[in-house]
Amino acid sequence: MPITPIHRIQGPGLFSPLDGQTVTTRGVVIGVSRKGFFIQDPDGDPKEPASHGLFVFERRRRPPIGSLVEVGGKVIDYQLHASARPTTQLAERSTRVLSEQGPPIEPVWLTAERVLIAPAALAQLLNNLEGMLVGVPTGSTFVAPSNAFGDYVVLPPDADLVRTQQGGVLIDPQHPERWLPGFRVLDYGDAPIVNVGAQLLEPVVGPLNFRVASYQIAAAGAVRANSTPVATGATSLRDEGSHVTVLTLNGFNLDVQKERPDRVNDPRRDVDDDVGDQRFLSLGKAIVADALCPSIVALQEMQDDDGAELSETVSAKRTYERLIAAVRRAGGPTYKWADIPPVAGADGGQPGGNIRNAFLYNPTRVKLVEGSLRLLGADSPAFEGSRKPLTARFRLLEGKGELALVNVHLASKRHQNGLFAPEQPGFDPRLDMRVQQAEVIGEHLLQLRNQGIDYYVTGDFNDFEFSETLQALVGDHSLNLVEAVPEALRFDYNHRGMSQALMHGVVARRQVVGRTAEYEILHANALTGTRPGRQSRKPSDHGYGIARLELD
């Protein structure tokens, strides 16, 4: 069979003209993954608008990196699902090592000048480099913390982007969907724990792989980075007198059960041990040591008592009791809890978990106004299959001040198209739903304003302060306290290197006239890294938002 040059296999488009054909090709092995290896044509011209690299699907045997091989097999345009971007692969049938040491391959360096370009040009560039040897240079800054899977994201030197105080990258309202170079390390022994702001001490090179709807380098060799400690100081906001503090805390699917594999939807994803991983203890310390025992804690992603097990259980009583005990153990007060359980399986989230919003409150500081606890939007199409906001009124024990709280967890961005989707890149099908949800909440806020009742809307909005969602909620009558936070500190979440605020705190404008309304973000969870290869013990995937409000 004649030799087919690799660049003709990959081609400049998304689908290969050789899809389904059996070919033989040659190349230098430039990297491996858990599912195969990558080869690159050493004679290919990198200036051509086509890739000279190719992924060979072969789980059993992988030739040494650097060897020259001849590979035969069937060309496949693999798609994860019908609307996913296809990737060209070779389903290996035969591999022959021609030389233990093939011609050297020079990497294409992913510099700031090369990758910080318009989205369409970037997509074409990365398509042309797919499967080829690329690298990120020494001095690149880690802009996402390391995770359990050995994933990293870096910002090349000399990049002109808005930065966080710790060295991360702030989301840009003009370009919220931005790609930054990242890599995955297969050997966890060579994968360091890094916090946001650390720097790369040596270059990282490897083939450019398309996986999980984005491009990522399959790193070859150890990763060397410096150490950057993250300060995790307590809030400066005090809960005292007529000033109450409200902490917003995402429980990250918190529950007391170590799920049984035969009772969950997906044993690989749905079994965890929040007690054994000490997440309750960590959250208790966060409430006491970091948030200084606020009057009220607005909780999101609280699961029922058997976690992700598929059952009719909806009560989360034992989960709250465990968290309250952890607060006491950390030296805090004995909180009370309040929630309204969802109908089993009706509100989305992890199957079986029945996540919901809830409140903890300090009964020595405030009391829950009888009859005020209820769900908003239970009959609204905007909240079908989505978490309903939980609202309640709390009254100071000493004084006449009263506050209506609305605790939200709006529709997820999980279904948003990636930046490299074949159709409608970046399209978010849940945006209209979140705007409609904000409008339903806004109707409730109008009633509260007409009654002269102070309010505070907080939780996980799954959207940014500049989004249509927050604009629909805030309007001319309210303020988002997040926007008063200095820009370099305005984030509570990190998504693929983009630091962003998804939690917010909304009050009526009249509540800040002659009174104080302050907001801080405790960032540690969005900055600190996890050891690759180990289960993350982070108490949450979000930072914590805390507000201090003066009640009349």
- Report the 3 state secondary structure along 382-424: HHCCCCCCEEEEEEECCCCCEEEEEEEECCCCCCCCCCCCCCC
Q: pLDDT at position 5, please? A: 82
Q: pLDDT at position 106, please? A: 95
Residue pLDDT, tens place only, 282-317: 999 999 999 999 999 999 999 999 999 999 999 999
Residue pLDDT, tens place only, 67-87: 999 999 999 998 888 888 888
Distance from C-alpha of 74 to C-alpha of 541, rounded to nearest angstrom: 42
Distance from C-alpha of 7 to C-alpha of 252, rounded to nearest angstrom: 45
Over residues 328-341, the mean pLDDT reads: 98
Instruction: Name the DSSP class of 426.
Output: T
Q: pLDDT at position 111, please? A: 97
β-strand pairing of 243-254 with 544-550: antiparallel
Cβ proximity of 358 and 283 under 8 Å: no
Nearest to 440 by CA among 401, 511, 388, 504: 388
Residue 7 reports pLDDT greater than 90: no
Q: Residue 371 corresponds to which tokens in the numbers above? A: 């009859």
Distance from C-alpha of 202 to C-alpha of 109, rounded to nearest angstrom: 13
pLDDT band at 1; cut points 50, 70, 90 = low
Distance from C-alpha of 318 to C-alpha of 321, rounded to nearest angstrom: 5
Over residues 1-20, the mean pLDDT reads: 72
Spacing of C-alpha 452 from chain mean position: 38
Distance from C-alpha of 170 to C-alpha of 466, rounded to nearest angstrom: 13
Cβ proximity of 213 and 427 under 8 Å: no
The percentage of residues in the chain with a pLDDT greater than 70, rounded to a whole number, is 99
Q: Residue 438 corresponds to which tokens in the numbers above? A: 């904000």
The CATH architecture of the domain made up of 6-99 is Beta Barrel (2.40)
Which residues, in sequence order, are CB contacts of 260 under 8 Å at separation 6+? 271, 309
Residue pLDDT, tens place only, 380-390: 999 999 999 99
Distance from C-alpha of 437 to C-alpha of 535, rounded to nearest angstrom: 34
Helix (H/G/I), strand (E/B), else coil: 343: coil
Nearest to 338 by CA among 256, 393, 409: 393
Nearest to 186 by CA among 156, 142, 226, 216: 216
pLDDT band at 10; cut points 50, 70, 90 = low
Domain ranges of the chain: 6-99, 108-218, 243-550
Q: Residue 414 corresponds to which tokens in the numbers above? A: 């999980």
Cβ proximity of 217 and 265 under 8 Å: no
Cβ proximity of 90 and 74 under 8 Å: yes
Domains 6-99 and 243-550 share a fold: no
Q: Residue 410 corresponds to which tokens in the numbers above? A: 């709006």
The amino acid occupying position 176 is P
Q: Which CATH topology does 243-550 take?
A: Deoxyribonuclease I; Chain A (3.60.10)
Distances (CA, A) of 4 to 23, 31, 95: 6, 21, 15
Cβ proximity of 319 and 274 under 8 Å: no
Model confidence, pTM:
0.94
* Alpha helices (runs of H) in 155-272, residue ranges in sequence order: 267-270
* Alpha helices (runs of H) in 410-516, residue ranges in sequence order: 431-450, 468-474
Average pLDDT, the chain: 94
Residue pLDDT, tens place only, 97-118: 999 999 999 999 999 999 999 9
Cβ proximity of 201 and 223 under 8 Å: no
**Worst-scoring range by mean pLDDT, 77-91, 444-458, 500-514?**
77-91
Over residues 498-516, the mean pLDDT reads: 95
Q: pLDDT at position 414, please? A: 85
Q: pLDDT at position 445, please? A: 98
Nearest to 394 by CA among 295, 478, 301: 295
- The radius of gyration of the chain from alpha carbons, rounded to an integer in Å, stands at 26
Q: Residue 458 corresponds to which tokens in the numbers above? A: 């907080």
Residue pLDDT, tens place only, 147-160: 999 999 999 999 99
Residue 3 reports pLDDT greater than 80: no
Residue pLDDT, tens place only, 535-544: 888 899 999 9
Q: pLDDT at position 53, please? A: 94
- Count of CB atoms situated within 10 Å of the CB of 333: 18
Q: pLDDT at position 329, please? A: 98
HSE on the CB side for 241, CA within 13 Å? 7
Q: pLDDT at position 11, please? A: 54
- Count of CB atoms situated within 10 Å of the CB of 423: 8
Q: pLDDT at position 357, please? A: 98
The percentage of residues in the chain with a pLDDT greater than 90, rounded to a whole number, is 84
Q: Residue 24 corresponds to which tokens in the numbers above? A: 């033989």
Distances (CA, A) of 395 to 122, 236, 335, 417: 54, 23, 15, 44
Residue 14 reports pLDDT greater than 70: no
Q: pLDDT at position 50, please? A: 83
The DSSP secondary structure of 83-147, one letter per residue, reads TSPPEEEEEEEEEEEEESS----PPEE--HHHHSS-HHHHHHHHHHHTTSEEEE-TTPEE-S---
Which residues on adjacent β-strands are paired with residue 200? 225
Distance from C-alpha of 242 to C-alpha of 220, rounded to nearest angstrom: 58
Distances (CA, A) of 517 to 238, 243, 293: 12, 9, 18
Q: pLDDT at position 132, please? A: 95
Q: pLDDT at position 322, please? A: 98
Q: pLDDT at position 173, please? A: 95
